[in-house]
Structure 1
Amino acid sequence: MIFDSFDKRIAVVGDIHGFWTWVDTEYFSKSNYDSVIFTGDLGNNLPGNTNKVAQLISKVRKPKYIILGNHDTTSIPQLLMEITNATPNMGYLSHTFHLLRYKKLLKDLGDTNVCQYNLFDMSKGLSLLGARPLSMGARFNFQIFLKSVFGISSYDESERKLLELIQDIDFQKQDLIVLAHNGPAGLGVRAHDIWGCDFKSEEGDFGDKDLGNFIRKIVDQNKRPKVVIAGHMHHSSRKLRVKTRIWKKKEEGILYLNPARVPRIFSDKEGNIWHHHVELTRKNGTWDAEAKYLKNGVEESFPLPEFLEREKNRIEG
């Protein structure tokens, strides 16, 4: 590398789904992390929950980056239309309300950097690319919204936009992190794969085609990202006896992370309360990640319970 070596320590928080408290806000604010990255899906199905979580995140006293998930700003009818592959024209009925929810969420997120078809300079030598927001896999989701807000209406247009955003990066001087809500296609076909389908008997690859094609094209040009982060497919897999999927994978020099441990706040048999996140580090030019757990508000103690040790070591490559 031409640029000087720099060390980084970044917190990565997977799909929240309502599991965020003041304990998290204060912990990350007082931590020695350089920044905090979120994969989206902030709320659960309770009214206003997404916005309450967003307001708590806005109070984290660190640089913050988030991509919106398929549960952020959308409604239950919209999600059902996506799941059933309903005609996009039906979505026009709720589009106005979707835009209002979107604007309200951006306001509640305060100074949080919202990653959505944009490129951020996180620090000297480090860029963060925001991929397609609101993805839920299987098809090009929320077409009307993406066309209205970003001018993107297909996988091909999405892929071209991502390629356009990184064309001026000097990969000899700049490390690139890609942040998406759902992961890229091409990383396996088993239920326990990092973005494998765990809700169909035939299993399969549930990654996004546009993101997968984008990564393959820049790798062919020797412009590979250092890290790709996405959630959406939760660690707890419905088809596994050991209820966790692979959450970290290294392939062709790229570190892939899925931090979506849901619920990320949970209790053990002794009544201890645990909070999960992933620590992403760059040391001496090498990127790596480790699952981290707070126990009753304090950073992990050793030894971890056996079930957490299994989770922590569910990695590949």
Structure 2
Amino acid sequence: MIFDSSDKRIAVVGDIHGFWTWVDTEYFSKSNYDSVIFTGDLGNNRPGNTNKIAQLVSKVLKPKYIILGNHDTTSIPQLLMEITNATPNMGYLSHTFHLLRYKKLLKDLGDSHICQYNLFEAGQGLSILGARPLSMGARFNFQVFLKSVFGISSYEESEKKLNELIHGIDFQKRDLIILAHNGPSGLGARAHDIWGCDFKSEEGDFGDKDLGDFIRKLADQDKRPKVVIAGHMHHSSRKLKVKTRIWKRKEEGILYLNPARVPRIFSDKEGNIWHHHVELIRKNGIWDAEAKYLKNGVEEIFPLPEFIEREKNRIEIKG
């Protein structure tokens, strides 16, 4: 495929959770992607695993854009406090160690662009906005850390900061990609919706209010982002017991992507090993995305297994 100077080809990797090997590092390094975007949650629950994955990711020989997820730099006690909605003051007990883990992870990520309340120019006519890091939905998470590092302690302050960051963008000349860990509110309250809740009987919208309000207000001013990327809510639905979550949604000129296929490395009944990512393309000014699967370390080979075809086609187009 031949691209003109305005075309882009970007790899998008969902929540890794320990599922990353040298196969991935070498594949993306040798690919013809312009860059690689990561939605965070690099490691699993084993101590030090996040940093080992970060070191492998840092060796990808492409520009890398990463937002930290709620499992990156945090501890199990901190996560439990967030899940139980413990008072923010309890966070001070572990804050010092949190900062140390945070600094160590940034070092291990090497030359990666860490997207966190900042704006990057990512080539001709393209900007990437980093939203609130460490989000895990339901409420404003990790208040002590966000206040200490970014000076932000509420949804309102978070939304205000995002507005400040994009103030100077000429939306007629630059496309905006928003990168978050958890997606925006307002895109559905069913278990299979792109950021719907699949672990409560009442289901519900699990998107972030600050991000959702920010995007809607931009749209009201005819300053829509072209693409919004976030993970956190995995494709494998706990409620419906099958991989049913919508991973791509187009609505009112915005392409929403949730690439969090967990595990992103898996085997089929024949013993083949598959590696998942999403291919994001701008062609003639139009953005679109397709789920991609490497088979045993090489480009996908057709026909794909039926369960993978079902996953690829879990999309929603509105308006």
Question: Which residue does the alignment assign to 2:248?
Answer: 248
Amino acid at match of 1:48: G
Residue of structure 1 in register with 2:169 after alignment: 169
SS of equivalent to 1:298: coil
What is the CA-CA distance between 1:297 and the residue it aligns to? 0.2
Mapped pair 1:300 → 2:271: no
Give the length in aligned residue pairs.
314
Asked if structure 2 preserves the Cα contact closer than 8 Å seen for 1:18 and 1:49, the reply is yes
- Residues 151-209 of structure 1 show CA distances to partners (whole Å, capped at 9, x for unaligned) of 00000000000000001000000000000000000000100000000000000100000
Counterpart of 2:225 in structure 1 is 225
Give the residue type in structure 1 aligned to 2:112.
Answer: T
Cα distance in 2 for residues equivalent to 1:12 and 1:244: 20
CA distance in 2, matches of 1:186, 1:120: 26
Q: Which residue of 1 aligns with 2:209?
A: 209
Aligned residues with identical type, % of pairs: 89
In structure 1, the residue matched to 2:258 is 258
TM-score of the two chains, using structure 2 as the length reference:
0.98
The DSSP-based 3-state class of the residue aligned with 2:79 is helix
Cα distance in 2 between the residues matched to 1:28 and 1:241: 31
Superposed, which structure 2 residues align to 1:126-145 within 5 Å?
126-145=126-145
Q: CA offset at residue 130 of structure 1?
A: 0.1
CA distance in 2, matches of 1:241, 1:45: 23
Question: CA deviation digits over 1:73-110, x for unaligned, max 9?
Answer: 00000000000000001110000000000000000000
The alignment's C-alpha RMSD in Å is 0.8
Partners of 2:166 and 2:88 lie apart in 1 by 30
Post-superposition Cα deviations, 1:126-167, rounded to whole Å, max 9, x if no partner, equal: 000000000000000000000000000000000000000001
Query: Contact 1:68 / 1:134 at 8 angstroms: preserved in 2?
Result: yes
CA deviation after TM superposition for structure 1 residue 238, in Å: 1.4
What is the deviation of 1:40?
0.0
1:24 counterpart residue number: 24
Q: Please give the per-residue CA displacement for 1:283-312, whole angstroms capped at 9, x wherever unaligned.
A: 011000000000000010000000000000
> Does residue 90 of structure 2 align to residue 90 of structure 1?
yes
The residue type equivalent to 1:93 in the other structure is L
Which residue type is aligned with residue 257 of structure 2?
L
Query: What 5-or-longer segments of structure 1 have no aligned partner?
Result: none
> Which contiguous aligned blocks of 4+ residues in structure 1 show a shift greater than 3 angstroms?
none
Q: Which amino acid aligns with 2:296?
A: N
Find the counterpart in structure 2 of residue 149 from structure 1.
149
For residues 129 and 148 of structure 2, what CA distance do their matches in structure 1 show? 21
Looking at structure 2, the residues matched to 239 and 50 of structure 1 have their Cα atoms a distance apart, in angstroms, of 28
Q: Which residue type is aligned with residue 205 of structure 2?
A: D
2:116 match: 116
Contact 1:5 1:285 in 2 (8 A): no
**Secondary structure, aligned partner of 2:287:** strand
Show the counterpart of 2:191. 191
* Cα distance, 1:173–1:263 mapped onto 2, change above 3 Å: same
Residues 13, 277 of structure 1: 8 Å contact kept: yes
Give the equivalent residue in structure 2 for 1:268: 268
5 Å-filtered alignment, 1:26-65, equals 26-65=26-65
User: What is the rounded CA distance, in whole Å, between the counterparts of 2:187 and 2:252 in structure 1?
Assistant: 11
Please state how far the C-alpha of 1:6 moved relative to its aligned partner: 1.1
State the one-letter code of the partner of 2:235. Answer: H
Opposite residue 83 of structure 2, the aligned amino acid is: I
Whole-Å separation in 2 of the counterparts to 1:92 and 1:134: 16
Give a deviation string over 1:186-234, Cα, whole Å, max 9, x none.
0001000000000000001000000000001111111000000000000
Residue 122 of structure 2: SS of its match in structure 1?
Answer: strand
Task: Give the match for residue 8 of structure 2.
Answer: 8
Note the C-alpha offset of 1:244: 2.5
- Structure 2: gaps spanning 5 or more residues: none
What CA deviation, in whole Å up to 9, does each residue of 1:1-33 have, x standing for no partner? xxx971100000000000000000000000000
